[in-house]
Chains A and B, each alone.
Chain A
């Protein structure tokens, strides 16, 4: 079943603008991760934020986590055409000695030159 739900489903912006994607989830988590997928193939891990963290940065990426609202956002600053991809949030709810990631349906980002 889907745990994370991304919003919006699709986003179209110009190069240089910022892109914000949101993710909501239903149950408590250990951590939340964001992945990028180009051309419907393999996913690339971007960033992980733990449940006791509120904000994390990595290069042009900024992730926030609000566990009270069960939501996260991914901000890409100064976007480039190469950022065009689908972005997925994934949540880890494991509590039984191992854990697996549950992925949302993704946000498709188009960055135009």
Chain B
């Protein structure tokens, strides 16, 4: 696609429910990244995909968080048993390679609110 697409743009969920966030990167971009941004804060790295594999999952905050990428394209971030502290904007980015020389292209994010 022309840009990185994320859905839904907003999600309100009840505490304890599971949520799935979707990211569709730019066609041909092999690298995909998930970040989380809490209110007024910087970006917190969650996970990096190269193709379908995830060489770096070091940022996933707990085992309630998981992510997968299929066909070297679409990625899904799943949060199980959501907690109020999971409320944040979840940002996805992609780049041509696993190196940062060309910068990242970000999607518009999913604003998750856990009530």
Query: Which stretch of B12-20, B41-49, B65-73, B77-85 is in the interface?
Result: B41-49
Contact A33 B103 (CB under 8 A): yes
User: With an 8 A cutoff between CB atoms, is B21 at the interface?
Assistant: no
Cβ-defined partner of B106 (8 Å) among A40, A44, A98, A99: A44
- Closest-by-CB residue of B relative to A105 is B42
Shortest B24–chain A CB gap in Å is 13
B 32-55 contacts with A by CB, 8 A: 33, 35, 37, 41-43, 45, 48, 50, 55
A71 CA to B93 CA, complexed, in Å: 25
Shortest B114–chain A CB gap in Å is 17
Set of chain B residues within 8 Å of A103, measured between Cβ atoms: 35, 42-43, 45
A100 CA to B35 CA, complexed, in Å: 11
Set of chain B residues within 8 Å of A97, measured between Cβ atoms: 98
**Given A40-B89, A88-B42, A101-B104 contact (CB < 8 Å):** yes
Contact B106 A100 (CB under 8 A): no
User: With an 8 A cutoff between CB atoms, is A48 at the interface?
Assistant: yes
A94 CA to B93 CA, complexed, in Å: 17
User: With an 8 A cutoff between CB atoms, is B109 at the interface?
Assistant: yes
- Closest-by-CB residue of B relative to A89 is B42
Contact A42 B100 (CB under 8 A): no
A 75-94 contacts with B by CB, 8 A: 88, 90, 92, 94
Contact B109 A42 (CB under 8 A): yes
User: With an 8 A cutoff between CB atoms, is B107 at the interface?
Assistant: yes
Set of chain B residues within 8 Å of A35, measured between Cβ atoms: 106
Set of chain B residues within 8 Å of A56, measured between Cβ atoms: none
Q: Which 3 A-B pairs have the closest CB atoms?
A: A45-B103, A98-B98, A105-B42
Residues of B within 8 A of A (CB): 4, 31, 33, 35, 37, 41-43, 45, 48, 50, 55-56, 89, 91, 93, 98-101, 103-109
12 contacts between A and B (CB under 8 A): A31-B100, A33-B103, A41-B108, A88-B43, A90-B43, A94-B99, A98-B48, A99-B98, A101-B100, A102-B45, A103-B35, A105-B42
